[in-house]
Amino acid sequence: MSRRELSEQSFLVLSALTREPLHGYRITQEVEELSGGRVRLRVGTLYGALDRLAGDGLIELDREEILDGRLRRYYRLTDAGATLLADEARRLSENARIATERLGLRAFMPLPGGAA
């Protein structure tokens, strides 16, 4: 797979899968928690992202189970997914460091208009 930047949603989905395999609904909960409530994935958005990430070899199906008559699929992070996530975390961290350095003390002041 070629090197590419991850969307925030994909970054958070991969991050959600770092500890253990999760099913779709639990992934949406983890993403919301990791983002402090900023990112709420709708079902269609989630499964589109899961299909893309699986197609790119970043995640894979771990297992399927039936609970209360409904199929539940669990996904896990692949080694390639973990590597890309780590690379992207380093890239974002470096970009944040550069911006903070360039802003100087302003990095610790609120932005105009109250934006954070």
Note the pLDDT tens digit of each residue in 89-115.
999 999 988 888 888 856 566 666 655
pLDDT at residue number 1: 41
In whole angstroms, give the CA distance from residue 91 to residue 108: 21
Phi-psi category of residue 96: left, alpha or beta, with phi > 0 → left and psi -120 to 50 → alpha: alpha
What residue type is 59 in one-letter code? I
Q: Which structure tokens are listed for 3?
A: 């090197």
Cα–Cα–Cα angle for 47, 49, 50, rounded to 5 degrees: 60
Residue-wise pLDDT for 28-77, tens only, equals: 999 999 999 999 999 999 999 999 999 999 999 999 999 999 999 999 99
CATH classification number, 8-105, choose in 2.30.29.30, 2.40.50.100, 1.10.10.10, 3.10.20.30: 1.10.10.10
Q: Give me the sheet containing 59-67, strands edge to edge.
A: 22-23, 70-77, 59-67
Q: Where are the domains of the chain?
A: 8-105
pLDDT at 3: 61
